[in-house]
Amino acid sequence: MLLAAFTWTEFAQQLAAGIREGAIYAGLALAIVIIYRSTRVINFAQGEMATFTTFIAWSLMNQGLSFWAAFPIVLAIAFTGGVAIERVLIRPVENAPVLTIVIITLGLALLLNGLMSMIWGGGNRQFHGPFSTRTIDVGGVPVSVQDIGIVVVSILLVVLLGFFFRFTKVGLGMRAAAVNRDSSRLAGVRVGWMLALGWGIAAVLGAVAGMMIAPVVFLDPNMMQTILLYAFAAAVLGGLDSPVGAVVGGILLGVTITLLGRYVGFIGSTLKLPAALLLILVLLLLRPGGLFGRVTVRRV
Amino acid sequence: MSRLELRNVEARYGPVKVLHGVSLTVGDGELVAVLGANGAGKTTTLRAISGTVRRSGDLVFDGKALSRRTEVTARAGIAHVPEGRGTFSDLSVWENLRLGAYTRRGGIKEDAQRVFSFFPRLEARRNQQAGTLSGGEQQMLALGRAMMARPKLLLLDEPSLGLAPIVVTEIFGALERMKGEDGMSVLVVEQNANLALAHAARAYVLEVGNVVVDGTSDELRANESIRKSYLGY
Ligand SMILES: Nc1ncnc2c1ncn2[C@@H]1O[C@H](COP(=O)(O)OP(=O)(O)OP(=O)(O)O)[C@@H](O)[C@H]1O
Ligand SMILES: [Mg+2]
């Protein structure tokens, strides 16, 4: 194995970059898990949904809005769109086999991708993010303000969601509907709406991830495709059932592949994805449920 | 006026009809029992009321036609503790109770306190995952969860199943007190007919999806064939 030259400063920098990558994966992975938990469906349109809403942000900013003025508008549009997708596309096939629904999400991904090309055209676009790309000194390590900003926004979002699920009535209703629909209905929980709400929240998570990563990678209709693969990997790594697992899995994956890509010579940037998938394969052989897969204690 | 009235209710699982025209009433603040052999359709009768099985016929609750949609019946004031208890095993005891009060706002802490006063064991296990409770504790939790809804009508499916006699006494004691305090009506399915008749004002006996006998508990106890088939003396 060819190891690259090593300095602690550079290691810390790579670590920071990895955490920033991971924060994006974590956000998308969380979106995937929220939908998967309640419906056992992997939403393959998650990436395109995120990119689509990022394009909306881009358009709004083109109209002269600042990023932070466009931000809440985009979140509201994302939320409404997510709920609408569930009501219009998913609800009618609710009782169909999971495969049918998965194929619908694939179709939705293609549809959104086509729409984006139609409306905004292909090609890369500069997306001006809210954070400056200049670096500041954090304990002797130069870190870009943008990276810090992305991580802080992601953490805030995750904490907010955690609070919502743990301490609000609707959050409790959503968790209940995800684990036991029949009992939830008996308790008066409007299960259908809880599922739609899950899609709305997933769309919001995607929108935030999209708006955070677009300044780093340029905006184009396929922007999220590779990132979504990493997010799937992160979700599986954490355990598809576990929101906490999705976040931890995302960060771990981001850090691991960034460090591997930098320090293990032959991996470089081209073999990062296969390397990540291989690592996950090994982990799943050891822990089939993922890191945080459901460890439910049940009496029989 | 009766709180709940079923007229000629039929219910089916797929193509198989299991209730063939069940009629019954439950009065305001009344505790009514449903008796019958295994497979007679007792559980299905409760499920027909809460809309968890396909059914037809007239169902009137508080003077209004009852919705087929389960969450609407819950919001209308019907709490159903199903066969197998239906607790959320992944959630904590407290979260289960909180879900019981999902359709209400206000007074939730006080009501939880009341549940804990009936079942002190639950308070000690507040933050424990419901799936790790003992069978009796789960039944207490199921009943506590229903209490949290302050229902007008409680549907209970075999609350004594698999429980020690002392726990059964505890549970029925709590039921009587709740009924007294809230003026709630109760429709309870029980295998243990002696127990059911001891607490119920009236009872219906089901056989293969039909009501074959009904009357006050005293009348049923005096009925020789009921005594032989269900009371065992
Ligand atoms: N989900 C189901 N699908 C098909 N048939 C069912 C289903 N549930 C119940 N049945 C049938 O309906 C009939 C009535 O069942 P039900 O559960 O109402 O009986 P029960 O009186 O509650 O019996 P038990 O005392 O054993 O609980 C039975 O013949 C049963 O086999
Ligand atoms: Mg039964």
Residues of B in contact with A296 (CB under 8 A): 89-90, 129, 131
Alpha helices (H) along B101-226: 108-118, 120-124, 135-148, 165-182, 193-199, 217-222, 224-226
CA distance linking residue A108 with residue A110, whole number of Å: 5
| C-beta of residue A214 within 8 angstroms of C-beta of residue A54 | yes
Give the distance from CA A50 to its chain's centroid.
9
In 3-state terms, what secondary structure has residue A241?
Answer: coil
CA distance linking residue A120 with residue A58, whole number of Å: 10
Q: Taking the CB of residue A270, how many other CB atoms lie within 10 A of it? A: 10
Residue A155: CB partners within 8 Å, gap ≥ 6?
A23
For the segment A211-251, what is each residue's pLDDT rounded down to a tens digit? 999 999 989 999 999 999 999 999 999 988 889 999 999 99
What does the pLDDT read at residue A116? 95
Query: Closest chain B residue to A188 measured between Cα atoms?
Result: B71
What does the pLDDT read at residue B133? 94
> Given pLDDT bands bounded at 50, 70 and 90, which one contains residue A294?
low
For the segment A126-173, what is each residue's pLDDT rounded down to a tens digit? 999 999 989 998 888 889 999 999 999 999 999 999 999 999 999 999
In 3-state terms, what secondary structure has residue B56?
Answer: strand
Residue B227: CB partners within 8 Å, gap ≥ 6?
B221, B233
What does the pLDDT read at residue A288? 80
CA distance linking residue B194 with residue B231, whole number of Å: 6
Domain spans, chain A: 8-286
What DSSP state is assigned to residue B152? Answer: S
Q: Taking the CB of residue A42, how many other CB atoms lie within 10 A of it? A: 19
Whose C-alpha lies nearest to ligand 1, atom 13? B39
| Cβ–Cβ gap A186/B95 under 8 Å | no
pLDDT at A194 over 50: yes
Q: HSE on the CB side for A105, CA within 13 Å? A: 24
In percent, the amount of chain A with pLDDT more than 90 equals 70
User: Ligand 1 pocket check: which of B22, B42, B83, B156 to mutate, most ligand atoms within 8 Å of Cβ?
Assistant: B42
Residue A251: CB partners within 8 Å, gap ≥ 6?
A19, A22, A23, A25, A26
CA distance linking residue B148 with residue B131, whole number of Å: 19
- The amino acid that residue B200 corresponds to is A
CATH number of B2-77+154-231: 3.40.50.300
What does the pLDDT read at residue A2? 55
Residues of B in contact with A294 (CB under 8 A): 90
Type and span of the H or E element at B189: strand B185-189
Residue B169: CB partners within 8 Å, gap ≥ 6?
none
For the segment A254-276, what is each residue's pLDDT rounded down to a tens digit? 999 998 888 887 777 777 788 87
pLDDT at A289 over 90: no
Nearest atom in ligand 1 to the alpha carbon of residue B209 is: 14
Cα dihedral A210, A215, A216, A217 sign:
positive
| Cβ–Cβ gap A186/B129 under 8 Å | no
Domain spans, chain B: 2-77+154-231, 89-150
Q: How far is the CA of B157 from the centre of ligand 1 (A)?
A: 12
Low-confidence ranges of chain B (pLDDT < 70): 1
pLDDT at A297 over 80: no
| C-beta of residue A42 within 8 angstroms of C-beta of residue A103 | no
| Cβ–Cβ gap B88/A179 under 8 Å | yes
For the segment A97-114, what is each residue's pLDDT rounded down to a tens digit? 989 999 999 999 999 999
Domain A8-286 in CATH 1.20.1300: no
**Cα angle: A112, vertex A113, A115; to 5 degrees:** 60
- The length of chain B is 233
Tokens at A186, concatenated? 């008996």
Mutation for testing the A interface, residue in B47, B81, B90, B92 having most A CBs under 10 Å? B90
Alpha helices (H) along B28-107: 42-50, 70-76, 93-100
CA distances from B32 to B122, B177, B198, B215 (A): 27, 15, 11, 10
Whose C-alpha lies nearest to ligand 1, atom 3? B13
Kindly state if the Cβ of B40 falls inside 6 Å of ligand 1.
yes
Phi, psi at A143, each rounded to 5°? -130, 140
Residue A279: CB partners within 8 Å, gap ≥ 6?
A256
How far is B195 from chain A, CA to nearest CA, in Å?
A: 26
Query: Closest chain A residue to B145 measured between Cα atoms?
Result: A187
Residue A88: CB partners within 8 Å, gap ≥ 6?
none
Instruction: Give me the residue label for tokens 């390397």.
Output: A275
